[in-house]
Structure 1
Amino acid sequence: MSCSESTNIKSFAEGDILHPQVLALFPLCDLTEEDLSQNPQFCKLLVTLTKHVDSTGLTLSLKTELEKADQKLQSQRRNWLRSQGLFQTLKEMIQEHCVRRHYSTVPPDQNVFYETMEKCLLVAQCVRMLDPSNSTQKEQPNILGLEPQQILQLMPLEKNVQRMKQSLPHELEKHLKNKCLSLLCYYHPEWENKSENLKCTKLSYLAKQVDKDKKNAESLKESCRENKILLQRQSQLYLSELIKCIKLLQTLILDHRLKIQTELDKKKLDYFEGKCELVLQKIKTEMVDIQLDTYTPDTISAHRKIREKLDSELKCCQEEKQGAEVKLASFEILGKEFQALAEEYGRLRQEIEMKNWALKEFTQYSNK
């Protein structure tokens, strides 16, 4: 931390604006001014820590080492991207040549050039895969038992390789130039039909424009991120206030309901009692109407005569029942022997009836 920053810390540590500046020095901490006010010793600790750590929480020595490691990483990353970009560009050139060869006639020297370049790339890839020097496993077995020297024997003829190396910068430059012109036409479609010299002049401004667009995109991305964080905080605040309002509304509803619930229940009870009484009276009225419609004076007199006749028949039946019960009681006195005689008598009567029926049927068919 610089001397000016230390002086600023000492100056505001004694004033009333301590809390906002402490929060500004530790933006990643989820703290509020109220937290610092309730914990003054913790606030002093944070002020002391500002002399040893930066705003992200890293110590000054660790931050220096991290910056050196980041610079080394960026340098290696640039080298890797440069070689990877060159490799992808050469593959694109080979693919475009294959497509062009299918649709048009290509000079023999170009065929030899691209075939030689393709073989060189394949051999270089295979050698790189077989070379264990870049691997953490030094004793890694070779693929199919092949050695890098055996793959190098598949290289094209030396004279073809030399010709390819001599022509490669020119072809690569031409390919990259075409890609740049295509990118220019993408940014400015109106320049597609312009002359090549004019397009080359405009290419000098394309890098600035791409860089500007990139910075605008990053700025928009950062603003979107800030807006997202702000929206999340506002949404959280809105939800907390909404929950408070809902709780207050629930309290008001419950209080109001408890006050009027008894009176409301009493009114409902009186209403249902009155309604039930009205329904009962209506049912009784309907029953009386049905009886009046059903039982006329003539019907009542007929029912009386029927009742008298049924009563007399019932009386006769009861007398017969009593007589039968007396006879049955007298028969039961005779015991089991009489029961056997009664069963034999019943069987004989049944046989007599069956024979009479058969005789009747026989006589009927004989007459026919």
Structure 2
Amino acid sequence: MSAGPDSTHVSSLGKGDGLHQQVIASFPLCDVTEADLTQNPQFCKLLATLSQHVDPTGLTFPLKKELEKTEQKLQSQRRHWLHSESLHKGLQEMIQDHCIQKQHATVPPDQSMFYETMEKCLLVAQCVRQLDPSSAANQDQPSVLGLNPQQILELMPSEKNVQRMKHGLLRELEKHLKKKCLSLLAYYQPEWESESEGLKNSKLSHLSAQLDIGKRRAESLKDTCRENSVLLQRQTQLYLSELIKCIQLLQSLILDHKLRIQTDLDRKKLDYFEGKCDLVLQKIKTEMVGIQLDTYTVDSISAHRKIREKLESALKACQVEKHSVELKLASFDILGKEFEALAKEYCRLRQEIDVNNWALKSSPSAKDK
């Protein structure tokens, strides 16, 4: 039931590929492709609706306004801090330059007094700032070395020296800043280093504008690089998806081709192995015939034939004897168990006779006879 307003709202955004392109353009940081939006139409509709309430970074418009106000306030405070910090750094650089100059040349006493007074004032101010707790700090925090800001202020130079230093500070600071600007100009445009002082001053008045132009150009190039990076990432994803499709298609073609030729390949392999087996069998038979020819000569074959004839005749005689013995045994079986007992007794007596004959033959008296 709620699909009516949403569909009307989405239809006003676009349809089909146009809607997909608009959604992708509205969320450049979102890793979404047209294939994802096509496969998930409801998700595409949701993103199209969200694009009317959020910016490309994902922030809502009210939050974006608050963020811009906060950034403006932060920029103002940052500029104020940078102004104080750059001034402090400039004064420290002036003191360092004076110390270096004293090591290489003789410095007038007034100039030495000026820089010594400025250095003491900076040190006292820095110590006072370190000892003065802020409103956010713990009020019960112990002071450093038991000192308080009032004790440090007593170390300030005399009021006369301070006033004299303040009177010439702006002039000296202006000279120092101008010197730094000229060095920056020489670095930014080396070809202007050989120009006259007036031309350098004229070029120096336009240096900030040129630096702003260069900064904007660098930011534009950075944005272009970021856009190109996003575009490259999308094109890489599209390339990888197409490459995967090509690989899948190639795999299917390889599988179909392999299945078609597998039967012919198996048949050829079978014929090959059958032919190889026949060849091996023929070789085995040849070797067997060769071994037989080397083993059985004409003389050995005739001797084997004579041995076979003798063995066969002996076998026939044994078979005849066996047949006669079997007939006798059959006749003995007819006589019954009484004859079997007599036969056993006869066998026992015969064995005793044999044993006694052997004993008589083995006795010493029998050997002497």
In structure 2, the partner of 1:83 is 84
Matched residue, 1:130: 131
Pairs within 5 Å for 1:30-69 = 30=30, 34=37, 38-39=41-42, 42=45, 46=49, 50=52, 58-69=59-70
Seen in structure 2, the aligned counterparts of structure 1 residues 138 and 204 have a Cα distance that, compared at 3 Å, is same
Find the aligned partners of 2:259 and 2:157 in 1 and give their Cα distance. 97
In structure 1, the residue matched to 2:110 is 109
1:13 maps to a residue whose letter is S
Listed one character per residue, the Cα deviations across residues 163-219 of structure 1 (whole Å, up to 9, x for unaligned) are 211111001000011111111212222221222122111112212211111111111
* CA 176–280 in structure 1, closer or farther in 2 if over 3 Å, else same: farther
Structure 2 unaligned spans of 5+: 1-7, 298-369
Alpha-carbon distance in structure 2 between the residues aligned to 1:283 and 1:85: 103
Match of 1:19 in 2: 19
Q: 1:149 maps to what in 2?
A: 150
Map 1:227-306; keep pairs closer than 5 Å.
227-271=228-272, 274=275
| Gap change, CA 1:141 and 1:279, over 3 Å in 2 | farther
TM alignment of 1:139-178, pairs within 5 A: 139-178=140-179
Structure 1 residue 65 displacement after superposition: 3.4
Task: Determine the C-alpha separation between the residues in 1 that align with 2:24 and 2:59.
Answer: 16
- Which residue of 2 is the match for residue 304 of structure 1? none
CA distance in 2: counterparts of 1:95 and 1:289, whole angstroms? 112
Helix, strand or coil at the partner of 1:133: coil
Q: Within 1, Cα distance between the matches of 2:39 and 2:280?
A: 74
Counterpart contact for 1:130–1:143, Cα < 8 Å: yes
CA distance, structure 1, for counterparts of residue 234 and residue 209 of structure 2: 37
Once structures 1 and 2 are overlaid, which stretch shifts more, 35-44 or 230-239?
35-44
Q: What CA distance in whole angstroms lies between the structure 1 residues aligned with 2:60 and 2:92?
A: 46
Q: CA RMSD in A?
A: 4.2
Q: Percent identity?
A: 62
How far has the Cα of 1:14 moved from its partner? 8.7
Distance 2:234 2:122 in 1: 54
Unaligned runs of 5+ in 1: 1-8, 298-368
Report deviation, 1:261: 2.3
User: Per the alignment, do residues 61 and 15 of structure 1 end up closer, same or farther by CA in structure 2, a change over 3 Å counting?
Assistant: closer
The alignment covers a number of residue pairs equal to 287
Q: Higher relative CO (CA 8 A, sep ≥ 6), structure 1 or 2?
A: 2
Code of the aligned partner of 2:81: W
Closer/same/farther in 2, CA of residues 279 and 167 from structure 1, 3 Å limit: farther
**1:225-279 CA deviation, whole Å, 9 max, x = no partner?**
1101100110111011111111111111122112222332342354456557667
Judged with a 3 Å threshold, the aligned counterparts in structure 2 of structure 1 residues 246 and 36 are, in CA distance, closer, same or farther, namely closer
What is the rounded CA distance, in whole Å, between the counterparts of 1:233 and 1:116 in structure 2? 63
Q: What per-residue deviation string (whole Å, max 9, x for no partner) do you get for residues 81-131 of structure 1?
A: 110111111111122222222222222222222222222212222221221
TM-score (norm 2): 0.64
Deviations 1:126-165 (A, max 9, x none): 2212211154433333223322222222222322222211
Greater mean alpha carbon deviation, residues 15-24 or residues 185-194 = 15-24
What is the one-letter code of the residue matched to 2:218? Answer: A
Q: Which has the larger radius of gyration?
A: 2
Q: Is the 8 A contact 1:22 1:46 kept in 2?
A: no
TM-score between the two structures when normalised by the length of structure 1: 0.64
